[in-house]
Structure 1
Amino acid sequence: MSEKQTGYSPECGIPMESPTYGSNADVKEEPSNQNFLDKLEQPVHIQKVVQEAILLAGGAAAILLQVAEPGVGKGVDEHSNFAYRPMDRLRTTMTYVYCMAFGSRHEKEAVIETVHRAHAVVKGPDYSANDPNLQLWVAATLYAVGIELYQQMFGQMTKDDAEVIYREYSVLAVSLRVKPGMWPVSRRAFWEYWDHQVETMHITENAQRVAKDLLWNKELPLHLRALLPLVRLTTAEILPKRIRDAYGLKSTKIRRGAYRVILGFTKATYPCLPKIIRTYPMRYYLKDMRRRLENIA
């Protein structure tokens, strides 16, 4: 990943961190996650990233990375119905992301409470959706995939901008069960954490079933099923090699060439689209969220 290369670059001036990925010195004295949320009530820097519709192109890759963590995989496989409702996780995830970046304080509190209620029943003998380590990994996948796609479209950020946006991304983790100090202190520490996770995870049967329902879903409407070969192609090329191979996804010379052509065309055209088009999903999901919150009230 290009962001990963930036994070490790020696000229970035990032000091060496402890191998303890979660020792975030900037926030470890915060008495509660609520206080940390106060600091990030308006995370304006990540808004320019998460508003871009192109991030949805990495949705399948992010989900497969999430369920590669065995606890997440069990929770999704045993408590979700990807085969018949494949868009539900996209809807809930994007609603949460857009709300944390753009929502009011009241909206954030309402969505967080809804997520807590939904997660309360997602548990088993050896996993719980409210496990902070699982929540940390889910948030990490959203950052890693999202920032990579954004920089592929708009170019590399300066190190200062990249660090500010990275720190603000922590709102996706600490607004749930993750303690502020668990979010790695810098991008360098993040990619150390990331590499450790990727190299130590194994793809379980739960994850394989989710992947099948996601990438070979026969219940989708015909016009969406027609897009699945493209989704499989892009997902395979976004995933780290070890995870891609474990899922049995192919990356041949021809497929890599096709991906480069698609990526090149998208890079040449997407940034030229009017912002109202590029941000349509964000506006759609925020409107949907506010409508549902009104119905609850």
Structure 2
Amino acid sequence: MVRGLADMGAEGVLLAGAGRAILLQIADPAVGHGVAEHSNFTDRPLERLRGTLTYVYAVVYGTEGQVAAVRRSVNRAHGPVRRKPDAGSAGYSAFDAQSQLWVVATLYDTAVMVYERIYGALDDEAADLMYRDYARIGTALQLPAELWPADRAAFATYWNGCLQRLQADEVSVRVARDLLYPPDPQLWQRLVMPLARFITVGLLPDQLRQGFGLPWSERHCRWFDRTMRLSAVVYPRLPQRARHWPKNYCLARLGTA
């Protein structure tokens, strides 16, 4: 039986949802405008992805020293990400608890979606435990524990309410375009991005596909479902060292602390 985040979080297949989580995050202006003005992840996507993964893996699997190290690193990166409200912007801050709640929520919802596509539905006990575990990704920073919805039903209410309010604006559309269609792609991006775009768009809610101007049809949907079914057959049969390679790689780079 799957027992919480520590059992499922090492699965490398969860990286298939990275694009979905990012696009959900930036569809919230409080996050998207901060990313647009302060982040270089469209220029250095692998470095930013590795930083996010290292933080998550350290919180879940790391020592107290490793958690403290990644917390300091994230807080340093977040320090400049703030702007006071003015006539043209509602303002934002990377330390805002509601923004951190939304970011963690996108990571949680995306991880569950991808995991269940590959391994099937979690039973209630495992799903509840994993849900509680996910709060740690936020509370290790500035997210108050009481702000994380009390249970999965409360999360569903929060999540559905947020989705109804999300609307990709001009800023977030530009960031998404640069992420999915790099203006000056390296060779690895030319090879990887067609599949990454396809998976990202397939996992998005339909309203955001439309909001970001991402094409999707019944034909796309059929191919996406076939891709997920094939992945569900092939991926679980890979050796654990291959499935857990991203976690082992990131923690090895972090070192002991």
- Band the TM-score falls in, shorter-chain normalisation: over 0.9
* Alignment counterpart, residue 200 of structure 1, candidates 140, 165, 168: 165
Partner of residue 58, structure 1: 17
8 Å contact from structure 1 (residues 86, 213) kept in 2 = no
1:124 aligns with 2:87: no
TM-score (norm 2): 0.93
* Distance (Å, rounded) in 2 between the aligned partners of 1:264 and 1:201: 29
* Alignment counterpart, residue 101 of structure 2, candidates 127, 136, 143: 136
1:69 aligns with 2:34: no
* Distance (Å, rounded) in 2 between the aligned partners of 1:82 and 1:103: 25
* Alignment counterpart, residue 128 of structure 2, candidates 159, 163, 168: 163
Kindly tell me: are residues 136 and 107 of structure 1, through their superposed partners in 2, closer, same or farther at Cα, counting changes over 3 Å?
Answer: same
* Distance (Å, rounded) in 1 between the aligned partners of 2:182 and 2:146: 39
Structure 1 unmatched runs, 5+:
1-43
Partner of residue 25, structure 1: none
Per-residue CA shift, 1:36-84, capped at 9, x if unaligned?
xxxxxxxx73111110000000111110011111011011111112342
TM-superposed CA distance for 1:91, in Å, is 1.3
Partner of residue 87, structure 2: none
- The AA in structure 1 aligned to 2:57 is Y
8 Å contact from structure 1 (residues 55, 149) kept in 2 = yes
TM-superposed CA distance for 1:262, in Å, is 0.9
Q: Identity, % of aligned pairs?
A: 37
* Alignment counterpart, residue 58 of structure 2, candidates 99, 115, 135: 99
- The AA in structure 2 aligned to 1:265 is L
1:177-196 to structure 2, matched below 5 A, reads 177-196=142-161
1:270 aligns with 2:235: yes
When structure 1 is superposed on structure 2, of 88-97 and 162-171 the one drifting more is 88-97
* Alignment counterpart, residue 254 of structure 1, candidates 219, 234, 237: 219
TM-superposed CA distance for 1:88, in Å, is 2.7
Structure 2 unmatched runs, 5+:
85-90
Partner of residue 244, structure 1: 209
1:111 aligns with 2:76: no
- The AA in structure 1 aligned to 2:95 is N
Per-residue CA shift, 1:104-147, capped at 9, x if unaligned?
01110121122112111111121000000000000000000001
TM-superposed CA distance for 1:206, in Å, is 2.0
TM-score (norm 1): 0.81
Per-residue CA shift, 1:251-275, capped at 9, x if unaligned?
2011111111111110110000000
- The AA in structure 1 aligned to 2:9 is V
Root-mean-square deviation over aligned CA pairs:
1.4
* Alignment counterpart, residue 184 of structure 2, candidates 203, 210, 219: 219
1:173 aligns with 2:141: no
TM-superposed CA distance for 1:191, in Å, is 1.1
8 Å contact from structure 2 (residues 4, 127) kept in 1 = no
When structure 1 is superposed on structure 2, of 215-224 and 149-158 the one drifting more is 215-224
TM-superposed CA distance for 1:219, in Å, is 3.0
8 Å contact from structure 1 (residues 163, 187) kept in 2 = yes
When structure 1 is superposed on structure 2, of 79-88 and 52-61 the one drifting more is 79-88
* Distance (Å, rounded) in 1 between the aligned partners of 2:187 and 2:27: 28
- The AA in structure 1 aligned to 2:17 is G
* Distance (Å, rounded) in 1 between the aligned partners of 2:51 and 2:147: 24
8 Å contact from structure 1 (residues 174, 180) kept in 2 = yes
Per-residue CA shift, 1:155-197, capped at 9, x if unaligned?
1111111101100110011111111000001111111111111
8 Å contact from structure 1 (residues 84, 219) kept in 2 = no
